[in-house]
A and B are shown apart, each in its own frame.
Chain A
C-alpha cells in the first residue's frame, strides 16, 4: 500500500468512527420549548432518584417532581395535604395523648403512575425499609431512631408507634421528613431478591411515580425529561412536559436564561441577582424562605483534646461580641448581595419562632474597639492588637465559592479598621467539611473563623444547629470523632432549652425555650450570624401565564406546579 493510500485508509477509519459515535444520539425522542414544555436549568445533576439515598438538594428537587409526599408546606409555610386526608393532631384523634402514636389516614382512590392502587401498604413497606439497617439509607435516621412499629389498619390507614413522644408530625410523615414513598409492588421483589434496596436499578432509573410528573428519560450529564402524570392526586398538571437541563457553569446557565433557552432556574446566588435581572427584562427573580443562615463560626476548642484550639482571644466573650460589632453586615448584604437579604443575630431567623424583640447588633466599630481594649487586646505599633505578646491574627477560612470569597475580603478590611488582622484561606468543600478522621479543615480545628451555612428552625422550634452543631455532647474530639459540634462551644443551659424545644408537649413552653436559646446565642456569641439565605429563583415571565407560586426551602418548590401554565 502506498503512503497516500495508507493515509486515506486512516482518515476513512477516523471518519467512520466519528459517524458511528455521533449515531449514539439519534435514537432519543425530541422535544421543543413550546407551551407544553417547561425548560428548567439545574447547576448540578441529581446523584440518585431515590430520596433516601441522597443528601443533595438538586436530587431532592428532581425527586419532588416525581414523588408525592403525605403533606407539603406552601410558600408561606402553611401545611398542604397531598396524599394525606387530614393532618393528624391530638384534637382530631390522629395523634395519641402521649404523642407516641400517629394514625395516618390517606385519601381514597390514590394511584401510582402505572395505575396500581397507592395504599397504606406502600407506606407500611416504606417505613419498614427505612427501619431496616440492611438498606443503608442515608436519609430517614430520625425515623429509624424513633420508630417502634408500623402497622396496617386498613387500605387507607396505617399506625406508627414511637419509643418517645414525637410532638412534630412533619418530621416523620410530612415533607421533608418523609419526602419519598416507595412503591411496594416495585421495591418488595427487589428487596426479597437482593436483601437490600441500596443498589437497586430502580433508584437510578425509577419507573413508578406518585408525584405530578413521571421521569421519561434521563440523558446522563445532559438532561432529564419528565411527563405529566395523569394519575396524580391533584389531576394531571397543565404543563405536559418538564425538561431539566444541567448547566454546571453558572455563567453559561445565566446566558441560557438571558437568551430565553431556560424558563426556570432555582438556586441563583444572591450576589448574581442584579446581573441576572439586568440580562433580560422578562426575567423575574423571586426569593423564598430557604431555611439556612450564613454564619462565621468561631473556634472555641480547648487545647489537647484532639482538634487544634482556636486563637486564645476568641475564648473571651467580649472579643466575640466585639467582632460582631466590627463587621458591617448591612453593607455586605446591600452591596454584595443586592439587598436580597439583611443581617440577623437570630439562629431562628425567618422562622415563626424568631424573637424579633432581640433586634440586630448594629455596626459600631468604636464600641468594638472599646470592648477589645477592655478585654486587654490593645493596638500595637504595627496597628494590630496584641495581649501578652500574642498578636490578634485570626485564620479566616471558607469554601471556594466566589461570593463567599468576596465577603471574606470585605470583612478582612472591616476588621483591620479595629486592629484585628485576619489571614484569608479557602478550601474545596470536600476538604473543608471533611470529617475529623479525615482531617477536615473545620472538624480538626484548622481555623479561627470559619464561614459556612447553618440551619434555622423550620416548621417547629427544634433547631438542628443548636441541637447538633452547638451542643456540649456533640463536641468533636479524639474521643468523639463523629461529633457535629466543630466550634467547641458548650452551654448546659442552652442544651437544656434545646431539649425542651424538641420534647415538650406544650407549644408555649417550647416557644419560651426557643426564645431562651436566642438570648443565650446573642449574649454568648459562639458564632456570628451574617444573614439568612433565601432560595432565589429566576423565571421568564414571557413564558408563564400569570405569576407562579414557588414553595419555600422547607418543603417543595413545585408544591403548586399543577397550576402553573405556559403561554
Chain B
C-alpha cells in the first residue's frame, strides 16, 4: 500500500508540470494587465508602462516567463530599466519561483498571491462544505426514498422538482431569493433574512448570512445527486442478493440500509472524491451575488484584471487538490471495500 501511494505521488509530479505549463499558456493569453489604464484619467506614460512590463517580466518570451514562474529570477542577471535621462538602471529580480514556495506577487495589489488565497479560502469552505454536506445527506435520503418507491406519486413529484431546480440558472434562484426573503419580507413587515457578506463577526450573524447562499447552492446541486443515488440504488435493488436477503426474511429497512445502500454507495464515493477538490474553487456566481468573500470571486476578479499570478496560483491549488483527492478516494475505496487491493 505504501508503495502504491508513493508511486502515485511520484506519478503526479510530471503531471503537475504538464498541467502548470498548459495553464500558464492559457492564463497569459487572457488579457493585458496594462488594459486597466485605458479609460482612466491619470494614465501612466508610455515609458512608465514599459517599465511596469519589464519589471513584471511581461516583455519576455512566454517560455522564459514560465521558467521564472517556476524557479524565480533572483539568480538571473538584473533587469535593465530605462531611466528618464535615456540611461538604464539595474534592478535585481526578487522572485523565488513556485518550486521554492513563491507563487508570485499579484499584479494588482502587489501582495503575495498566496496571501490573497489564504484570505479567501476559509470563507469559501465555510460556505461550500455545509452546502455540500447538506446536499449529500438530503440527496441520500431523497434518492433512496425515490428508488424504493419507484414510480409512486412522491417519486414523480421529487423527480419533477429536482429537474425544475436543476434547470434553473443559479443567478435567477439567488436574485429571486434575495427579492423574496430580504426585500419583500421587509415590505410585508416580516423579519428579512440577512444576506450580503459574512455578517458582523458573530457566529449567529454568520449563520444567518449563510442561509440564502447555502439554500441556493443546495437547490441547484441537489437534483444531480438525487438522480445519481436513485439510479444506483435501483440497480442494486434488482440484484439477486437483495431478493435473497428479502427471501430469508430480513426487514425492508435492513435490506435497504445494510445490503442495498452499502453497495450502492461505492460509486457515490467516486463522485464525492471528484467533487471535493472543487469545493476549494468556490461558487463564482453565488459568491458574487451574495457578496461572499470567497475563492470564486477572487478568481473572477483576478480574471477581469488579467492578474495572471493570482489566477495561476488558484489553478495550481486546485490542480494539486484534484490530484490529492483522487489519491484519497482510491485509498478510501480499500477502506470501505476490503475486496479492493492495490499493488
Supplied contacts A47-B109, A453-B39, A454-B39, 12 more A-B pairs, CB within 8 Å = A18-B125, A25-B198, A47-B305, A55-B36, A142-B42, A204-B111, A222-B291, A245-B291, A433-B34, A433-B38, A435-B35, A440-B35
Interchain CB contact under 8 A, A53 and B183:
no
Q: Cα distance A203–B106 when bound, in Å?
A: 14
Chain B proximity of A195: nearest CB distance (Å) = 10
Q: Given that A47-B109, A430-B304 are contacting pairs, would A247 and B130 also be in contact in the complex, using a CB cutoff of 8 Å?
A: no
- Residues of chain B with a CB closer than 8 A to A17's CB: 125, 129
Interchain CB contact under 8 A, A440 and B109:
no
A-B contact count (CB 8 A): 218
Chain A proximity of B303: nearest CB distance (Å) = 8
- Residues of chain A with a CB closer than 8 A to B105's CB: 199
Asked if B203 CB lies within 8 Å of chain A CBs, one says: yes
User: Can you list 29 residue pairs at the A/B interface with Cβ under 8 Å?
Assistant: A17-B129, A18-B125, A18-B133, A21-B125, A22-B126, A26-B206, A27-B201, A28-B201, A44-B301, A47-B109, A47-B305, A48-B110, A133-B81, A133-B83, A136-B55, A139-B44, A145-B84, A222-B291, A249-B291, A430-B32, A430-B304, A433-B34, A434-B35, A435-B35, A435-B49, A435-B53, A438-B58, A452-B38, A455-B41
Q: Which of A195-220 contact B (CB under 8 A)?
A: 198-199, 203-204, 219-220
Interchain CB contact under 8 A, A18 and B289:
no
Q: Cα distance A145–B120 when bound, in Å?
A: 40
Interchain CB contact under 8 A, A26 and B110:
no
Q: Which of A125-148 contact B (CB under 8 A)?
A: 133, 136, 138-139, 141-142, 144-145
Residue among A45, A198, A437, A483 making CB contact with B53, cutoff 8 Å: A437
Interchain CB contact under 8 A, B34 and A435:
yes
Q: Given that A248-B291, A484-B46 are contacting pairs, would A221 and B297 also be in contact in the complex, using a CB cutoff of 8 Å?
A: yes
- Residues of chain A with a CB closer than 8 A to B171's CB: 251
- Residues of chain B with a CB closer than 8 A to A428's CB: 31, 304
Q: Given that A55-B42, A141-B48 are contacting pairs, would A256 and B196 also be in contact in the complex, using a CB cutoff of 8 Å?
A: yes
Q: Which of A477-521 contact B (CB under 8 A)?
A: 482-484
Interchain CB contact under 8 A, A221 and B199:
no
Residue among B59, B130, B175 making CB contact with A251, cutoff 8 Å: B175
Listed stretches A91-99, A258-266, A381-389, A542-550; interface member: A258-266
Q: Given that A6-B335, A482-B47 are contacting pairs, would A430 and B197 also be in contact in the complex, using a CB cutoff of 8 Å?
A: no
Interchain CB contact under 8 A, A430 and B31:
yes
Q: Cα distance A246–B43 when bound, in Å?
A: 25
Looking at B41, B179, B262, the one whose CB has the most chain A CB atoms below 10 A away is: B41
Interchain CB contact under 8 A, B41 and A464:
yes
Q: Cα distance A144–B50 when bound, in Å?
A: 16
Interchain CB contact under 8 A, B39 and A259:
no
Interchain CB contact under 8 A, B122 and A21:
yes
Q: A-facing mask of B124-138, CB < 8 A → 1, else 0?
A: 011001100100000
Q: Which of A336-388 contact B (CB under 8 A)?
A: none
Interchain CB contact under 8 A, A221 and B32:
no
- Residues of chain A with a CB closer than 8 A to B179's CB: 255
The 8 A-B pairs at the shortest CB distance, nearest first, are namely A221-B293, A430-B31, A482-B46, A434-B32, A28-B201, A433-B38, A433-B35, A30-B200
- Residues of chain A with a CB closer than 8 A to B237's CB: none
Q: Cα distance A48–B108 when bound, in Å?
A: 8
Q: A-facing mask of B283-301, CB < 8 A → 1, else 0?
A: 0000011111110011011
Q: Cα distance A220–B115 when bound, in Å?
A: 11
Interchain CB contact under 8 A, A252 and B35:
no
Chain A proximity of B277: nearest CB distance (Å) = 15
How many A residues face the partner with a CB closer than 8 A?
79
Chain B proximity of A559: nearest CB distance (Å) = 17
Interchain CB contact under 8 A, B35 and A429:
yes
Q: Cα distance A176–B40 when bound, in Å?
A: 12
Residues of B contacting A: mostly: helix
Q: Cα distance A220–B303 when bound, in Å?
A: 17
Q: Cα distance A165–B120 when bound, in Å?
A: 50
Interchain CB contact under 8 A, A249 and B288:
yes
Residue among B49, B52, B298 making CB contact with A221, cutoff 8 Å: B298
Asked if A109 CB lies within 8 Å of chain B CBs, one says: no
Interchain CB contact under 8 A, B201 and A468:
no
Chain A proximity of B16: nearest CB distance (Å) = 25
- Residues of chain A with a CB closer than 8 A to B36's CB: 55-56, 429-430, 433
Interchain CB contact under 8 A, A259 and B34:
no
Interchain CB contact under 8 A, A29 and B201:
yes
Interchain CB contact under 8 A, A24 and B110:
no
- Residues of chain B with a CB closer than 8 A to A6's CB: 335-336
Q: Given that A3-B262, A139-B42, A141-B48 are contacting pairs, would A30 and B336 also be in contact in the complex, using a CB cutoff of 8 Å?
A: no
Interchain CB contact under 8 A, A433 and B305:
no
Looking at B33, B38, B110, the one whose CB has the most chain A CB atoms below 10 A away is: B38
Asked if A432 CB lies within 8 Å of chain B CBs, one says: yes
Interchain CB contact under 8 A, A221 and B31:
no
Chain A proximity of B45: nearest CB distance (Å) = 5
Chain A proximity of B48: nearest CB distance (Å) = 5
